Structure 1
Amino acid sequence: MGLDGWTNKFLETAVALKAMSTSTLEKKFDAFRRWGLSDQEIHPSCMLVSVDNIMDMMDFLVNKVGYSSTLVAKQSSIFARSLEKRIVPRALFVRELLSRGLADSVRFSMVFDSSEKDFP
């Protein structure tokens, strides 16, 4: 599943997935498949959010910002973040930096996973 079996994250994810119905899990897999992802590319922790959250996050990051769906899915922690409060403002800030030539590239994980204190 892509998780270390000795971590709290593994246990939390396993319990959450076990509590979901098969139809709910299938709807979430279908949401990711619509973005061209295979079942193997979908990290289990991505399944802990709603279908609406999956679709909104992917739509913004893939269609509006230009990231690949594979990159977004690999950074599964992003689905635990608020789209409106964290993802949109940071993505727009980085896009502005790049468009003005103030940065050549910015690591995806640095943009969305760094704390408020550490984010520029």
Structure 2
Amino acid sequence: MEKPPIWPPSRKIRSCRHAENEENGSNECSLADQDNNERATEEVKKLGFNPLQQLFLVALQALIQISKSTWERKFNVFKQWGWSDEDIVSAFEKYPRCMLFSEHKISENMDFFVNTMGCKSSYISNHPVLLSYSLEKRIIPRCSVLKALLSKGLIEKFNVNSIMVCTEKVFLQRFVTPFEDPYFLKLYEEKQTLTLDTMDKCDFHVLR
């Protein structure tokens, strides 16, 4: 599968055209925007998104708002992690919001999951929602607890995607409160105030 064929026009260019058209009373800009929106809507439908579901609107937002140059830069970021064009489009189909994240956030989360967690890059392309979570507020605190549980032999392995997508309440119920040790809750809360730089790199047993 090729890249989505529609490349959204730059918002800056549209803004300039709009300003020029206001001066001469032309409606060229609004007609161009309408045409672009219609084309984007058709492309989103071709990718298989259901117009009745929220993901359709997210995908449409990505195609309309992201400029061609930004889209290409994000493609290149994913390719640096070994993703093919097909992987990127597949990830977009699963979770179109992944193209709305900054290049820095994409790289930072990919680096942590691949180089610290030991996940395969393909695992992230199959579960692109992992790119949405905050390292400081969710990923690092949860991984710190799991590292402690692993080191104490209280768990043997875990599913990264399941651990990250569950709510905080569910995470605490599954990995903190059952062990009746205040250390785990304290560790979890402490890590929520720290940053990636303060967390030691470590090996995790990952169920992929």
1:1-120 aligned within 5 A: 4-6=49-51, 7-42=53-88, 43-44=91-92, 45=96, 46-120=98-172
SS of 1:17's equivalent? Answer: helix
CA contact (8 A) 2:150 2:156 kept: yes
Q: Does structure 1 retain, via aligned residues, the 8 Å contact 2:110–2:131?
A: no
Q: Distance in 2 between matches of 1:61 and 1:4?
A: 28
Deviations 1:13-58 (A, max 9, x none): 2222321111101100100100111121121222110000010001
* Letter aligned with residue 62 of structure 2: A
- Over 3 Å counting, the alpha-carbon distance change for 1:95 and 1:13 in structure 2 is farther
Question: Shift of the alpha carbon at 1:104?
Answer: 2.3
Instruction: Give unmatched runs, 5+ long, in structure 1.
Output: none
- CA spacing shift, 1:47–1:39, aligned 2, 3 Å: same
**TM-score in terms of structure 1 length:** 0.87
Does the CA contact (< 8 Å) of 1:37 and 1:69 recur in 2?
A: yes
* Partner-residue secondary structure (3-state), 1:15: helix
Q: Compare 44-53 and 9-18 and name the one that shifted more.
A: 9-18
Count of residues in correspondence between the two structures: 120
Cα–Cα, structure 1 residues 48 and 98, in superposed 2: closer, same or farther, change >3 Å? same
Question: Contact 1:81–1:87 at 8 Å: present in 2 too?
Answer: yes
**Structure showing greater Rg:** 2
2:33 match: none
Percent of pairs with identical residues: 37
Using structure 2 for the length normalisation, give the TM-score. 0.53
Determine helix, strand or coil for the equivalent of 2:155: coil
